[in-house]
Structure 1
Amino acid sequence: MRTQVGIVGAGPAGLMLAHLLHLAGIESVVLENRGREYVEKRVRAGVLEHPTVELLRETGLGERLDAQGLPHHGFALRFDGVDHRVALTDLTGREITVYGQQEVVKDLIAARLGAGLAIEFEVTDVSVHDFTSSRPRISYVDAAGVAQTLECDIIAGCDGFHGICRPAVASELSFYERAYPFAWLGVLARAAPSHEELIYTYHDRGFALHSMRSPEITRLYLQVPPDESLDGWSDDRIWDELSARLSADGFTLTTGPILEKSVTPMRSFVVEPMRHGRLFLAGDAAHIVPPTGAKGMNLAIADVRVLASAASAFLREGRTDLLDAYSDTCLRRVWRAEHFSWWMTSMLHRDPAGDPFDHRLQLSQLRYTASSTAALTSLAENYVGLPFGAPS
C-alpha cells in the first residue's frame, strides 16, 4: 500500500492529525492496535483548553462539543477549608470546556468514517522502517491476519507512551523525566456534580480534585501512594476520604454508584528532539505531564496542528522548513506546560517525605496566589491555554 502520511495510533493525536491532513488534501492511513469500541470508551482527560475548543470548531468538530460540553469560567482553589475562585474568564477573556477525551475521539472517528476514510483497527506486529530515507515504511498484520506493508512519505508516531515508535529511535533521543512520590486514585461516579466548577483541594490528608463529565457524571481524584492497590479501596472508603478532604463550610459531597476506579502514577517526561528523519513523534509518545494542569490531550492537539501544517507545506509545496522546525516549535509549548503542571502539582500535593517546613511553604504559595491578581492571572492564562503560536 502507499499513502502520504502513515499514522500509528488512533488516539486524539493520531485522529486529529488525520483530520487536519484530510482538510488540507493530504492522504493518510491510521493504524490502531485496539478495537474501535475500546478506543471510544477509554476514559482519559476531560478539560479542553480554549485554543483546543476553537480548533475543533474551526475544523467542523464543534456540534456535539457545543451541545454537550460544559464551559467553565473559573475553578476553586480550596485550602484551609475555604474556596478561593480563579476567575478564568474575568482574568483572561477565555474559558475551558469540560468534554471527555473519549467524546473527542468519537467525534474524530465519526468525521473520518463519514468522509469515507478508513481506520485500521486491531492491527498487530507494527514496526517502522527506513525512516531516515525518503521512502519510510510501516509493516503490520491487519485485523484479518494478513501481513501488510505501508509505504509513505512521513510517519507520525502518535501511539502513546507505551507505543513502538519512540523505542525505534530511542538511541537518537535525549530523555528528561521526573517521577512523583504519589499517584491519583480516580473514580467515575453516577452522581450529580457537587459544585458548578472544578475544585482543586490542598488538605493535610492529601490532594483531592472534584471534577465532572456531565450533569449526571462526576469525576473525582484522591492523592495516594504510587504503589497503591485498589483492593483496599471500597466504595465507602473512597466516599469517606473524598468527604474528609473536600470538606468546607456549606459544601456537601454528592455520592452515587462508582462506575470505574483506577490508580495513575504521576510523572513528567519529555524526549528531544521529537523527530528523527521522516519519523515524527506527537502527544504522549513524546511527552507526559502530571494531570494536575490538565495539559495532556491539549498538548497532543497542539503537536499535530504544527505537524499537519508542516506536512502539508512539504507534500504540497516541497518546503522542508516547517518540518525542520517541528520539534523546536512544539517543545517550546511542551516545556511551558511541563513547568505549569509541575508547579500546580508541587503546590497542591503533600509529599510523604516532606516536613512542616514544606507544608508552610505550600500554604504560603497558595495564599499568595489566591490574593494576588498578578499570580491569579498567570495561573489562569496557563490553565486556559496559551494561544497557538504564542511565545513560551
Structure 2
Amino acid sequence: MFASLSSQTSYFVSKMLENHLLPAYEGLSSRKTGIMFGAKAVAKIRDVQIHDPVTLTNTKEFLRQCFMKPYIIGNILGKKAAAQQTNDIIGFIEQNIPNNFGIYYREPSNLGISFKTCRQATPLIKAAIHKELNEGLLTKFAAAIGVQSDQSHMLSQRLKVMTGDTLKYLQREQQDIHEWMKQAMLLNANRESYDDWREKFSLSRIYPNLVSMHAIRGLFQKSFSYLVAGEMAAHMMPILQSVFFALVVSMIFIVFPMGLLPGGYNILKTWILLIIWVSSWPVFFTIIHCLGMISLSSKSGAFGSDYGLNMLSQGSFAEMILYSYATFQMLASSIPMLSWSVIKACAHATANLASQFSPIQVASSLGSNIVDNNLSKEFENFTIAKDYEQKLQILKKYS
C-alpha cells in the first residue's frame, strides 16, 4: 500500500507541475511539434546560400553598395543600429533608399553590365531572391535536415507548418520559413561581400579566432554528448525506474523480518527512503522538462523586441538554443543522482553531479591542440604551422 501511495503521489505531482509550468497552448507541446526539429531547422537556415551565380554576384554588390557602405559603415542618418537589428534587409533598404549610391548590375539573360541606382536595383534584387525561394528549395532544405517524401508539395507544406509552430513557440514574430531563408541568403551574401572587399585591399578573409573556434568545438562536443545522454535517458529511465521500483518493493520480504531485530528501525527507514527516491524520479523529470521548455522560450528573447533573424542574431541563435536544451538533457540523464542528492542531502552525489558540468576534460585536449598549432578531426589532421611553412616555401620559390 505504501508503494502504491508513493506512485500515485508522484503521478499527481508530475501532472500538476506540467499543468502549471508548461505553456497553456497544448498544440505547442514538444511532444506534438518537436522543439529540437525546429532548432535543427533554424540551425540549417543560417547556411542557406544563393545558388544562381549571377544573382549571388548582384546581391553581394547590392548589399555592399546599398546597405553596408551607407548604413553599417557610413551610419547615414544615424541608422547603423537599425540596420544591424533589422530582420528584413530588403524592406529596410526600400524604406531607406540611399541617394548617390548604385551598382553595376549584371543582366541574368545576356550577362550584360549596366549601372543602376539603388532605387532601380532594389526591385530587381527582390525579384531574384523570390525566384530562389521556390518549392524546390524548400524540398532540398527538408532533405538536408533529414526529412524526405515523394510528394514535394506536401513535404514543403508540412515543413512550413512545423517550423512555423516552432518559431511561434519560441515567440518569434518572423514565423514564415520563406522569410527566414530569404534573410539568411542576404546575410550570407553580405558576409561574402565583406570578405571579397577585404581581399581587394590585400587583406585576409575573416576567420574565427583560434581560441574562439576551439571553444565553440568544445561547446558542441559537450552539448552533443549531453543530447546523446538525454536521448538515452528518455528511453532507459522509464524501464530503469520500473525495474528499480519492483526491486525495492520486493525487498519487503527481507526488510520486515530484519525490521523486528535490534536496530531494525534504521533498515525500515532506509527501505522507505529508497521507495521515495525511486518514486521521485518522474517528479524531477517533469521539473527539468518544464524548466527546459521555459528556457527555450525565454532564451530567444535576449536579442531584443523584433525577435527576428538579423546581423546580430544569426551567429548565435541556434547555438544558444542548442546549449540550453543540451544542459537540461544532461540533467535529465542525471535524475537518479540529482534526486538522491536532494532527498538524502548527500554531498558526494552533489559533487559528482557538479563534476558533470566541468569543461576541464574537453578543454584540456583542445588547449593542447592550440599550443601545438594542431587542429584534429576524424580521419584528418591539419597542422597549421606546417601548412603555413609549406605555403611560405612555395611563395619563396616562385618569387
TM-score by length of 2: 0.26
As a proportion of its length, which structure holds more helix? 2
Q: Which has the larger radius of gyration?
A: 2
As a proportion of its length, which structure holds more strand? 1
TM-score by length of 1: 0.26
